[in-house]
Each structure stands twice: as C-alpha cells, then as structure tokens.
Amino acid sequence: MRKLLIKEVASKGITDERVLNAMMKLPRHFFFDEIFVTHAYEDKAFPIGQGQTISQPYTVAFQTELLEIKAGDKILEIGTGSGYQASILLELGAEVHTIEYNKVLYNQTRKFLPRLGYRPHFYQGDGSRGLPAQAPFDGIIVTAGAPSVPQDLIQQLKIGGKLIIPVGDGKTQEMYKFTKVTENKISKKSFKNFSFVPLLGEHGWKK
Ligand code: SAM
C-alpha cells in the first residue's frame, strides 16, 4: 500500500527520489487514530484530534521537495501535528526543530515519535514568531495556512535559507518559497493552491 501511495505522489509531479524514498520508509498508519487507520495510505489529509490534521502525503512531499534539504541542515517546522512531516525531515538527515501550538498534540507527539526512533527537538508555543533562540535556519517549513508572511520568519533564515509557507484565506492558500539571497535581498516564487488548517498566534489568524 505504501508503494502504491508513493507511486501516486510521484505521478502528481514529485521527482526528488530522496523525498520519495523517505516517504517509503515511514509507516504512515502509525500516525493515525485507530478509526482512520485503514485510510492511512490514501493521498489525503486526515483528522488527528484537536481539530487538526495530518497533511496529505502529496502536500508533505511538495513542501519537502521545495526545501532542497542537505544532510545536516537546520530546519524549523512550524506545526508539529502528528510528527509525520518532522520524521520525513529527519529521514533526509536534517537537524529538526519542530514547534506546536496545541499543548495536547505537543505532549502526544513528543512522547510518541521517539518510540518510532525519530527524535526532533520539540517545542510548545507560537511558531508564527519562529524560534529566535535557535535561529538562524537553513529552512523553515510552515504546515498551517498563514494570512500573510511573518517577517520574523524571513529574519530567522540563514543567507541561502528557504521559507516554505502557504499563504491565503481560511479556505485556500498559495504555496510560496522565499529564499534569502543576501541580507537585504529575498527572492519569491509562488506555486499552486493548497488547503491547510489555519496558522494561529501573533502572526496567524486570531481564534
Ligand atoms: N506537520 C503536521 C504533520 O506532519 O502531521 C501537520 C500539521 S497540521 C496540518 C497544522 C498544525 O499546525 C496543527 O497541529 C496546529 O495545531 C499547528 N499550528 C497552528 N498554528 C500554529 C502556531 N502558531 N505555532 C505552531 N503550531 C501551530
């Protein structure tokens, strides 16, 4: 089933073999609530409790591909959720810092993920402000939909660093890739639309 899922993700345009191989290694069904487990290898987002979701595999692959991770890169993930995306980043050899706003999910995932052998650095708090104490980063990936681009996140990139962030309204968001070319020059590329749960917090949507 996992092979079929990876084939489907590749057929939708993901070409980075390293990303596809990382997804092949991950037992996505371990990240699911029991009642949804039979759906784990569908290319769909699913509820993980607390009104949140595990992202669609294609979306995870799309954002990960845009990060162009090299082993040892320091990556900040905003929105730990189930921990699936963080595990993919670890499989690619990144040093992963992941922050989750929701306390219940934070506590669940920080206990669960090490049992699978995945050990990112976990934080609980408002990731819309980034993680200044650990900055700068080679890459920042935002896995919730933002109303605008938080400048704090751009500031927390290294030169050459990338920010991958979906920005839009509550329903659909366009995917953006910002690259910090020099301290004062930022390049911006936009991609297609996705649909994420909202980014909350100071630079996110207000509850
Ligand atoms: N990356 C996750 C995974 O692999 O399962 C999927 C994340 S889910 C689509 C979005 C997550 O972002 C939710 O768990 C939500 O609680 C979290 N979130 C929303 N606003 C946040 C913020 N300001 N800081 C950190 N996490 C936030």
Q: Label residue 207 by pLDDT band (50, 70, 90).
A: confident
Q: 68 near 75, Cβ under 8 Å?
A: no
Burial 169-182 (b: 16+ CB within 10 A, else e): eeeebebbbbbbee
Of 53, 10, 75, nearest in space to 195 by CA: 53
Catalytic annotation present for 148: no
Over the stretch 176-203, which tens digit does the pLDDT of each residue have?
999 999 999 999 999 999 999 999 999 9
Q: Which domains does the chain have, with CATH numbers?
A: 2-194 (3.40.50.150)
Q: Could you tell me if the CB of 200 is within 6 A of ligand 1?
A: yes
Q: Could you tell me if the CB of 52 is within 6 A of ligand 1?
A: yes
In this prediction, does ipTM exceed 0.85?
A: yes
What contacts 18, CB < 8 A, 6 or more positions away? 69, 92
